[in-house]
């Protein structure tokens, strides 16, 4: 266990992005994946990274600061992917499919991300919730707004309200991970495996693009 | 404030369904709606109902017991509605539309229901989570299984996995209420009003039944 020094003065300095902070975030995310829990302490992270606990406190102030920094790191990566995706020479339909798969894969790859978002939005401070909105909800909603507009302009998508669309897509993806644990208590529901993820990506693509009516019914309805 | 008596012996007796218990549940749900929070104590409920706090403790044991009884009451009403809906002389498509509207309206009418489910599934005891699964997740999944099978048999629905369908529909509906608070911090997103609920019902019906591709694209894809 690394020594835990009193650094109340240092903790008041603004956190600086540098390689020590990056190494601490890597240690934090590895611990969360190993434990399948976001319940890791600053001293756990000091021990895992081999970096003095005083430096952990210096960079993140407290545990919520660390969780926020970790989510900010992962969200920044995802936002870069979104911008990259939007710029590709693909149809809006193809981009939407890749986006659906991207969300589900990101949640699956970083199982703690979903829990971090729920914790920071609902059980942490108002400031933390504002930050999550600024670097996660806002950019994601903005991306979807632009993708939907592109699809409408190309004649591929009908007009869909972006805020309602965001709610339904993110809610559905989120529930595979947040709600599955509860569902596994019901008959015939297993844990989320690679195969379940692939199946859910295919399910969401088909559902959002073409719905569940058979072609016959669509013709009748139209 | 009603007197708070020691009733440890009485609390060990099994709770009995009777009018006192029903009146307590009415008081609990009214308090939760008034406060827009599930954070109500047994003594708050005693005060609101005018029933002795000893009787509150006798019927529910502790706060989680009360929350579970309240959710069980509301879930039982909803399950009755589901059975009634399934028995109606309507097409599976019409039943699915009514089901989508029913879920969203139930969440809107009982704003505490969603929070109760999250609390009991994720922050309470394993026993409480098992109970929620037994009287809420299980019957809802079973209903959807039967409705989907009916739709496939009638040639109206394509084959959709019931567990994946449950996840996407419940996740999307849940997120309007659980996720909206966080979204309102982002630009252009207001609170959930009557109109937002109606719009979301229309959005979910259109999305789940026919998807978001224009008819032209559906023909091309098919």
B13 falls in which pLDDT band (50, 70, 90)?
Answer: very low
pLDDT reported for residue A219: 59
Kindly list the residues from chain A whose CB atom is less than 8 angstroms away from the CB atom of residue B71: none
Is the model more confident about B67 or about B150? B150
pLDDT reported for residue B17: 52
Question: Residue A179's Cα: distance from chain center in Å?
Answer: 15
pLDDT reported for residue A209: 95
Kindly list the residues from chain A whose CB atom is less than 8 angstroms away from the CB atom of residue B160: 203, 207, 212
Distance CA(B106)–CA(B103), nearest Å, equals 5
Distance CA(B2)–CA(B51), nearest Å, equals 8
The complex scores an ipTM of: 0.83
B220 falls in which pLDDT band (50, 70, 90)?
Answer: low
pLDDT reported for residue B85: 96
Cross-chain residue pair A207–B203, CB shorter than 8 Å: no
- What is the full per-residue pLDDT of chain A (222 aa) written as tens digits? 333 333 333 334 444 456 888 899 999 999 988 887 888 888 899 999 999 888 888 888 888 888 899 999 888 888 999 999 999 999 999 999 999 999 999 888 887 887 888 788 777 777 888 888 888 888 999 999 999 999 999 999 999 999 999 999 999 998 898 777 667 777 678 888 999 999 999 999 999 999 998 876 765 554
Kindly list the residues from chain A whose CB atom is less than 8 angstroms away from the CB atom of residue B155: 214, 216-217
Cross-chain residue pair A160–B186, CB shorter than 8 Å: no
Cross-chain residue pair B209–A186, CB shorter than 8 Å: no
Q: Which long-range contacts (CB under 8 A, 24 or more apart) does B195-200 make?
A: B197/B104, B197/B105, B197/B108, B199/A161, B199/A164, B200/A164, B200/A167, B200/B104, B200/B176
Closest in B179, B209, B221 to A213, CB measured: B209
Question: Among residues of chain B, what percentage have pLDDT more than 70?
Answer: 87
Of B68, B112, B168, B113, give the one whose Cα is nearest residue A179.
Answer: B168
pLDDT, one tens digit per residue, over B185-200 is 776 788 889 999 999 9
Kindly list the residues from chain B whose CB atom is less than 8 angstroms away from the CB atom of residue A169: 172
Closest in B133, B168, B182 to A185, CB measured: B133
Cross-chain residue pair A156–B214, CB shorter than 8 Å: yes
pTM: 0.83
CA distance A51 to chain B (A): 33
Find out whether B132 and B68 touch, Cβ atoms under 8 Å: yes
pLDDT reported for residue B221: 56
CA distance A95 to chain B (A): 13
Task: Assign B157 to helix, strand or coil.
Answer: strand
pLDDT reported for residue B94: 97
Closest in B137, B203, B208 to A183, CB measured: B137
Find out whether A189 and B163 touch, Cβ atoms under 8 Å: yes
pLDDT reported for residue B10: 38
A interface mutation test: which of B152, B217, B220, B221 has the most A CBs within 10 A? B217
Distance CA(A173)–CA(A207), nearest Å, equals 13
Half-sphere exposure of B54 toward its Cβ, with a 13 Å CA cutoff? 7
Find out whether A132 and A121 touch, Cβ atoms under 8 Å: yes
Kindly list the residues from chain B whose CB atom is less than 8 angstroms away from the CB atom of residue A129: 182, 185
Residue A169's closest chain B neighbor by CA? Answer: B172
Closest in A129, A189, A208 to B212, CB measured: A208
């Amino acid at each position: 266990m690394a020594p835990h020094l009193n650094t109340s003065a240092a903790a008041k300095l603004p956190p600086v992005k540098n390689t020590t902070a990056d190494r601490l975030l890597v240690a934090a995310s590895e611990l969360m994946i190993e434990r399948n829990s976001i319940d890791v302490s600053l001293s756990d992270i000091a021990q895992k990274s081999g970096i003095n606990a005083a430096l952990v406190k210096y960079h993140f102030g407290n545990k919520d600061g660390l969780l926020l920094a970790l989510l900010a790191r992962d969200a920044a990566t995802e936002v870069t992917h979104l911008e990259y995706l939007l710029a590709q020479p693909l149809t809006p339909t193809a981009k939407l499919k890749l986006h659906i798969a991207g969300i589900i894969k990101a949640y699956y790859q970083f199982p703690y991300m979903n829990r971090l978002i729920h914790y920071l939005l609902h059980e942490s401070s108002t400031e933390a919730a504002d930050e999550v909105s600024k670097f996660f909800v806002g950019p994601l909603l903005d991306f979807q707004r632009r993708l939907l507009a592109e699809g409408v302009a190309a004649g591929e998508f009908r007009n869909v309200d972006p805020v309602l669309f965001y709610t339904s897509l993110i809610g559905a993806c989120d529930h595979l991970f947040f709600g599955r644990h509860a569902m596994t208590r019901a008959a015939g529901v297993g844990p989320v495996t690679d195969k379940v993820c692939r199946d859910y990506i295919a399910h969401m693509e088909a559902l959002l693009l073409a719905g569940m009516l058979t072609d016959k019914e669509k013709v009748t309805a139209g």
